[in-house]
Amino acid sequence: MILGIDLFISSFCYVLASLLRFNFDGNATISLISASFIFFILIRLVCFRWFKTYSVIVRFAGSADLKKVFSSLLLSSLIMLIFIGLFRPFQSEYPGLWRSHGFIFSYSVVIIEFFLSLCLISAFRLLMPYFFNLWFAEKKSRINVLVIGAGQLGALISKVIQNDSNSKYAIAAILDDNKDVHLKQLNGIPVYRPEFISKIVEKFKIQKAIVAINNISLQRKNEFVEMCLDHDLEVLQVPVNTAIMEKGGFDENQMKPINIEDLLNRPSIILGKEAIKNQIQQKTVLVTGGAGSIGSELARLISTFKPKDLVILDQSESPLVNLDLEIREEFNFTDLHSVIGDVCDKSRMEGVFAEFKPDIVFHAAAYKHVPIMERTPREAVNVNISGTKNIADLAHRYGVQKFVMVSTDKAVNPTNVMGASKRIAEMYVQSLNDHKGTQYITTRFGNVLGSNGSVVPRFRKQIEQGGPVTVTHKDITRYFMTIPEASQLVLEAATMGKGGEIFLFDMGEPVRIYDMAEKIIKLSGFDPHKDIEIKVTGLRPGEKLIEELLTTTENSQPTHHPKITIASNQEFDYDEVRAGVEDLIELLDNYPDEIIVAAMKKMVPEYISNNSQFSAIDKLNKQISSID
280 and 404 share one domain: yes
The answer to whether the beta carbons of residues 461 and 327 sit under 8 Å apart is no
283 and 401 share one domain: yes
Look at residues 194, 226, 258 and tell me which one is the last residue of a structural domain: 258
How many angstroms from the chain centroid is the CA of residue 285?
26
Close Cβ partners of 386 (under 8 Å, ≥ 6 residues apart): 344, 581, 585, 588
Could you give the CA distance from residue 598 to residue 581 in angstroms, rounded to a whole number? 13
For residue 263, tell me if it sits in a domain: no
**Residue-level pLDDT at 61:** 66
The answer to whether the beta carbons of residues 340 and 320 sit under 8 Å apart is yes
- In one-letter notation, the amino acid at residue 326 is E
- Which CA distances in Å does 472 have to 457, 512, 523? 16, 11, 21
**Residue-level pLDDT at 95:** 44
Could you give the CA distance from residue 81 to residue 465 in angstroms, rounded to a whole number? 75
Assign residue 550 a region (left: φ > 0; alpha: ψ between -120 and 50; beta: otherwise).
beta
Could you give the CA distance from residue 115 to residue 181 in angstroms, rounded to a whole number? 34
How many angstroms from the chain centroid is the CA of residue 269?
11
Rg of the chain taking only CA atoms, in angstroms: 36
Running along the chain, 628 residues long, what does each successive block of 10 average in pLDDT? 83 82 73 72 84 71 76 85 70 45 65 86 76 60 85 80 76 88 84 89 89 79 86 80 46 74 64 83 95 93 94 95 94 93 96 96 94 94 97 95 93 93 95 85 83 78 90 87 85 88 82 89 86 91 78 70 78 91 93 94 93 89 68
Could you give the CA distance from residue 303 to residue 545 in angstroms, rounded to a whole number? 38
Looking at the structure of the chain, the number of domains it has is 3
For residue 123, tell me if it sits in a domain: yes
Close Cβ partners of 208 (under 8 Å, ≥ 6 residues apart): 143, 145, 146, 169, 233, 234, 235, 236
- In one-letter notation, the amino acid at residue 449 is L
224 and 326 share one domain: no
570 and 426 share one domain: yes
How many angstroms from the chain centroid is the CA of residue 384?
31
Q: Report the alpha-carbon angle 144-149-151, nearest 5.
A: 125
Pinpoint the alpha helices (H) of 239-358. Answer: 260-264, 273-280, 293-304, 317-330, 346-356
Look at residues 76, 105, 136 and tell me which one is the last residue of a structural domain: 136
- Which residue, 103, 67, 70, is CA-closest to 85? 103
291 and 247 share one domain: no
Could you give the CA distance from residue 315 to residue 405 in angstroms, rounded to a whole number? 18
- In one-letter notation, the amino acid at residue 487 is S
**Residue-level pLDDT at 32:** 67
DSSP label of 143: E
Question: DSSP 3-state assignment of 498?
Answer: coil
- Which residue, 248, 223, 241, 203, is CA-closest to 57? 248
Residues constituting the chain: 628
**Residue-level pLDDT at 243:** 42
Pairing of strands 511-512, 477-478: antiparallel
- Which CA distances in Å does 616 have to 16, 590, 611? 101, 21, 10
Its domain, for residue 201, covers 143-258
Query: E-strand spans in 160-308?
Result: 169-175, 185-186, 189-192, 208-211, 234-237, 256-257, 284-288
Could you give the CA distance from residue 285 to residue 348 in angstroms, rounded to a whole number? 18
What letters, b where the CB count within 10 A reaches 16 and e where it falls short, cover 258-282? bbbebbbbeeebebeeeebbebbee
Look at residues 202, 232, 258 and tell me which one is the last residue of a structural domain: 258
Catalogue the long-range contacts made by 158-161 (C-beta closer than 8 Å, 24 or more residues apart). Answer: 158/186, 158/187, 158/189, 158/212, 159/187, 160/60, 160/245, 160/249, 160/250, 161/250, 161/252
96 and 181 share one domain: no
DSSP label of 307: B
Helices (H) and strands (E) in the chain, counts: 22, 22
Q: How many CB atoms sit inside 10 A of residue 378's CB?
A: 19
For residue 68, tell me if it sits in a domain: yes
Could you give the CA distance from residue 379 to residue 373 in angstroms, rounded to a whole number? 7
Task: For 585-620, give the DSSP string.
Answer: HHTTTTS-HHHHHHHHHHH-TT----SSTTHHHHHH
- Which residue, 607, 243, 562, 280, is CA-closest to 416? 607
Could you tell me the CATH number of the domain that includes residue 277? 3.40.50.720
For residue 455, tell me if it sits in a domain: no
431 and 553 share one domain: yes
Could you give the CA distance from residue 71 to residue 65 in angstroms, rounded to a whole number? 10
The answer to whether the beta carbons of residues 168 and 144 sit under 8 Å apart is no
277 and 335 share one domain: yes
Q: 20, exposed or middle or buried, with CB in 10 Å at 0-12, 13-18, 19+?
A: middle
For residue 29, tell me if it sits in a domain: yes
Question: DSSP 3-state assignment of 373?
Answer: helix
**Residue-level pLDDT at 238:** 77
Could you give the CA distance from residue 13 to residue 110 in angstroms, rounded to a whole number? 10
For residue 265, tell me if it sits in a domain: no
- In one-letter notation, the amino acid at residue 73 is L
300 and 352 share one domain: yes
Q: How many CB atoms sit inside 10 A of residue 561's CB?
A: 19
368 and 431 share one domain: yes
The answer to whether the beta carbons of residues 563 and 486 sit under 8 Å apart is no
**Residue-level pLDDT at 339:** 96
Pairing of strands 439-445, 502-505: parallel
The answer to whether the beta carbons of residues 469 and 535 sit under 8 Å apart is yes
For residue 244, tell me if it sits in a domain: yes
426 and 552 share one domain: yes
For residue 584, tell me if it sits in a domain: yes
443 and 500 share one domain: yes
Q: How many CB atoms sit inside 10 A of residue 562's CB?
A: 10
